[in-house]
């Protein structure tokens, strides 16, 4: 299949690339042109044109130019692109959505029947989209978007380190490593990194660093510090963590070294100088570029597995997913610092077998090269476009759907400790009992009034605990 295609994608115009989203989106046009698609790409108007923010006439001109002499055969959107123009068969013959996450355009895509194929950036996000579309309306005996449930796939994104192992020159935004940090990296310390801005769960990160330094083996052992984003280590975050450390004689400065935003070559150099990485995050990662880049650069990652991080690579390939029910917050919000001691023990044990861990990262890098190259992305993108020419399967029959654990559930134990990408918490015993009782049941066997009452009181579906599916989803720890 080839024809005309309109690209309604955000963060384009690189290099320099506007982050990983920009890198992926900028790759698409070149791939399509090589395969004889006639590509029209939306370009945002200049930002210095009169009162454009309030009177969008330059945008009108851009959209009129994009229409050209005929409607495109296909329009390809990402979430932010839907803020410019909504997918509609009144404009293009087929509409395809690429999801870098679910934060943008939700009011456009969540219930749309004009989107012919929803393309997630990972199988995890594909399952999450399915759970969104499958949200039940027990009164009407239907799902939120049954059309979307049958029109899902995932793409294999290109990871820049596969193409440029030392850092892609197109990622030029950001600083080089500051000289004072370079000098410290050459000193007698063990270094870790957690440089994703705004994604850390600071309580977990602080607890791991506290235990690493408490258990490191006596006063003569090397100190252990973590390189973190200076934009994340705000004054408020410092004050909160210093308050947690009150009485210990320690402060944030004993554990964390802030680093400015780095260009990719500098980031990769820093990763290669580090002994471990932490991704104990609160942000449910839709894909996981940073974690893959760390492994590719020979630095193992330890993570709670939030989002797609727990699915990126098989065990023994540079990513250690280590999370226990004890890490869940109590009903009153309290958390136990001792729950993270096991993470520090694992890291310290691995520091004692550097050759074996380096071998794991090499195996992980080989898998990354195989799975997430530009060539793999090209194949998956073309396969998605080819699917547009084939009829969709029928919409699922609501009554035949089964209750399953949501793909957001990382673990759930009988006491109610729930680790969940939507919200980790302590569930009431009756909530857990109801969830376990409903698992595997067909909608046909569930009464509408009873399920409406259960959902109103326990939020089993709205809380990201249960979903509806035609087949069991990948297992979590239950």
pLDDT greater than 90 at residue 284: yes
pLDDT greater than 90 at residue 298: yes
Query: What's the mean per-residue pLDDT of the chain?
Result: 95
pLDDT of 51 reads: 87
pLDDT greater than 80 at residue 128: yes
Percentage of the chain beyond pLDDT 70 is 98
Average pLDDT over residues 382-408: 97
Q: Tell me how far apart the alpha carbons of residues 100 and 83 are, in angstroms, rounded to a whole number.
A: 15
pLDDT of 148 reads: 98
pLDDT of 67 reads: 85
Q: Which of 123, 170, 78, 163 is nearest to 375 (CA)?
A: 163
What is the band of 141 on the pLDDT scale with cuts at 50, 70, 90?
very high
Q: Tell me how far apart the alpha carbons of residues 378 and 370 are, in angstroms, rounded to a whole number.
A: 13
Average pLDDT over residues 101-128: 98
Angle between the 354-371 and 341-351 helix axes, to the nearest 10 degrees?
Answer: 100
pLDDT of 2 reads: 78
Q: Tell me how far apart the alpha carbons of residues 270 and 253 are, in angstroms, rounded to a whole number.
A: 19
In the CATH scheme, what is the code of domain 175-371? 3.40.50.2000
The residues spanned by each domain of the chain are 4-158, 175-371, 398-469
pLDDT of 14 reads: 86
Residues 6+ apart with CB under 8 A from 128: 102, 120, 407, 408
pLDDT of 476 reads: 54
Q: Tell me how far apart the alpha carbons of residues 118 and 245 are, in angstroms, rounded to a whole number.
A: 46
Average pLDDT over residues 388-400: 96
What is the band of 343 on the pLDDT scale with cuts at 50, 70, 90?
very high
Q: Tell me how far apart the alpha carbons of residues 118 and 35 are, in angstroms, rounded to a whole number.
A: 21
Q: What DSSP state is assigned to residue 444?
A: G
Fold match, 4-158 / 175-371: yes
pLDDT of 196 reads: 95
pLDDT of 367 reads: 99
pLDDT greater than 80 at residue 473: no
Residue corresponding to tokens 């780095």: 262
Q: Tell me how far apart the alpha carbons of residues 211 and 189 are, in angstroms, rounded to a whole number.
A: 16
Q: pTM of the full predicted structure?
A: 0.95
What is the band of 220 on the pLDDT scale with cuts at 50, 70, 90?
low
Residues 6+ apart with CB under 8 A from 126: 118, 120, 152, 153, 154
pLDDT greater than 60 at residue 477: no
Instruction: Look at 128-137, 243-252, 300-309 and tell me which has the smallest mean pLDDT.
Output: 243-252
Task: Provide Rg for the chain, Cα atoms.
Answer: 24
pLDDT in tens, 397-429: 999 999 999 999 999 998 999 999 999 999 999
Structure-block tokens of residue 359: 């071998």
Q: Which of 109, 113, 73 is nearest to 93 (CA)?
A: 73
Average pLDDT over residues 186-201: 94
Q: Give the CATH fold of the 4-158 domain.
A: Rossmann fold (3.40.50)
pLDDT greater than 60 at residue 478: no
Please report, for residues 45, 202, 243, 245, the alpha-carbon distance to residue 239 in angstroms, rounded to integers and kept in the order given. Answer: 42, 12, 6, 10
pLDDT in tens, 44-87: 887 777 888 899 999 999 998 888 778 899 999 999 999 999 99
């Amino acid at each position: 299949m080839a024809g005309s295609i309109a690209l309604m994608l955000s963060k384009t115009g690189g290099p320099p690339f506007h982050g990983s989203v920009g890198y992926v989106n900028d790759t698409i046009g070149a791939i399509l042109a090589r395969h004889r698609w006639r590509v029209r790409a939306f370009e945002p108007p200049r930002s210095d044109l009169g009162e454009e923010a309030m009177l969008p006439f330059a945008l009108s001109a851009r959209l009129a130019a994009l229409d050209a002499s005929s409607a495109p055969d296909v329009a390809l959107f990402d979430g932010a692109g839907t803020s410019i123009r909504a997918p509609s068969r009144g404009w293009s013959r087929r509409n395809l959505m690429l999801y870098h996450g679910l934060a943008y355009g939700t009011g456009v895509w969540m219930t749309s029947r004009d989107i012919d194929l929803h393309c997630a950036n990972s199988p995890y996000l594909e399952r999450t989209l399915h759970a969104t579309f499958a949200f039940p309306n027990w009164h009407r005996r239907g799902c939120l978007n049954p059309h979307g449930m049958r029109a899902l796939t995932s793409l294999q994104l290109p990871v820049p380190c596969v193409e440029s192992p030392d850092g892609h020159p197109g990622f030029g935004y950001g600083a080089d490593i500051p000289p004072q940090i370079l000098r410290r990296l050459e000193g007698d310390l063990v270094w870790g990194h957690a440089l994703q801005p705004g994604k850390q769960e600071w309580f977990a990160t602080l607890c791991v660093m506290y235990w690493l330094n408490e258990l490191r083996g006596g006063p003569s052992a090397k100190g252990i510090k973590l390189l973190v984003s200076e934009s994340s280590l705000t004054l408020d975050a410092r004050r909160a963590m210093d308050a947690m450390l009150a009485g210990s004689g320690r402060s944030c400065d004993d554990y964390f070294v802030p680093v400015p935003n780095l260009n990719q070559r500098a980031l990769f150099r820093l990763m290669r100088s580090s002994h471990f990485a932490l991704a104990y995050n609160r942000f449910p990662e839709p894909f996981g570029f940073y974690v893959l880049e760390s492994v590719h650069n020979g630095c193992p990652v330890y993570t709670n597995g939030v989002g797609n991080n727990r699915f990126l690579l098989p065990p023994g390939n540079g990513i250690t997913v280590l999370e226990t029910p004890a890490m869940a917050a109590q009903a009153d919000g309290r958390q136990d610092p001792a729950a993270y001691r096991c993470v520090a023990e694992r890291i310290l044990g691995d520091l004692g077998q550097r050759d074996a861990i380096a071998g794991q990262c090499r195996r992980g890098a080989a898998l990354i090269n195989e799975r997430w190259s530009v060539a793999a992305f090209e194949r998956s993108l073309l396969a998605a476009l080819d699917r547009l020419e084939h009829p969709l399967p029928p919409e699922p029959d609501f009554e035949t759907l089964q209750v399953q654990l949501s793909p957001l559930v990382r673990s759930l134990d009988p006491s109610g400790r729930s680790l969940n990408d939507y919200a980790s918490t302590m569930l009431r015993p009756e909530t857990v009992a109801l969830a376990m009782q409903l698992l595997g049941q067909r909608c046909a066997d569930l009464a509408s009034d009873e399920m409406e009452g259960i959902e109103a009181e326990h939020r089993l579906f709205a809380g990201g605990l249960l979903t509806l599916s035609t087949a069991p989803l990948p297992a979590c720890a239950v």
